[in-house]
Amino acid sequence: MERARRLFGLLIVLIVAGVVILVVTVRPGLRKDSESVDRSWAPLVQPLDVRFRTLDPVITQLKIDGAGNRTATIGLTRLLERWRVISTGTDTADQVRTANQIEEYAARVSALARTARLSGALPLQDALGAYEKTRAAIGTQLGVYNAKVGAYQHRRDAFWSQIVAKLDGYPMRPTLQLS
């Protein structure tokens, strides 16, 4: 009985030591990749802010054209207000999630603008055209950011890294998808 307790104790010590060694060896790579994702996001905030500000005239025109009470218009308005607050902060994941939601709602608004009733509203179409033109200014940096997210996710999803990521709180990171 005493021998079994000693073996059990030794087993516990070995498991704890293994986890400590795992954390010490894997954590630096996860931290480096996570910080790289954050650094590659920072240059995107300003061009996205410019892109999202071009949606203000779109919302104004939707209201003028009688589509201001549509779910897409209301949702986009709410998300743009949120963006103006969080874009000055440091929570990269929240900023990316919100930017993706804005892009989603902008796509919905664009589809709404192509309906028979609104497709002839030239000021609305011009405002949407100005929004679409901002895409080019984001292209290269977007590729860099999404590649950094891919590298982080690849490391994070490796067998041993998954354990450390869960223990240390390294969550999945979203890519940015422009509409």
Asked if residue 2 is part of any domain, the answer here is no
Looking at residue 38, its pLDDT comes to 95
Q: What single DSSP character describes residue 69? A: T
Cα–Cα distance for residue pair 69/55, rounded to 1 Å: 16
pTM given for the model: 0.87
Total number of domains in the chain: 1
Looking at residue 116, its pLDDT comes to 93
Asked if residue 40 is part of any domain, the answer here is yes
**Contact indicator for 67, 118 with CB cutoff of 8 Å:** yes
Asked if residue 6 is part of any domain, the answer here is no
Q: For the segment 70-97, what is each residue's pLDDT rounded down to a tens digit? A: 999 999 999 999 999 999 999 999 999 9
Q: For the segment 131-154, what is each residue's pLDDT rounded down to a tens digit? A: 999 999 898 899 999 999 999 999
Asked if residue 147 is part of any domain, the answer here is yes
Looking at residue 73, its pLDDT comes to 96
Asked if residue 161 is part of any domain, the answer here is yes
Q: How much of the chain exceeds pLDDT 70, in percent? A: 98
Cα–Cα distance for residue pair 109/70, rounded to 1 Å: 9
Q: Domain range spanning residue 117?
A: 31-168
Asked if residue 175 is part of any domain, the answer here is no
Asked if residue 163 is part of any domain, the answer here is yes
Looking at residue 109, its pLDDT comes to 96
Cα–Cα distance for residue pair 152/173, rounded to 1 Å: 8
Task: List the chain residues with pLDDT less than 70.
Answer: 22-23, 25
Looking at residue 42, its pLDDT comes to 95
Asked if residue 5 is part of any domain, the answer here is no
178, with CB counted inside 10 A (0-12, 13-18, 19+), is middle
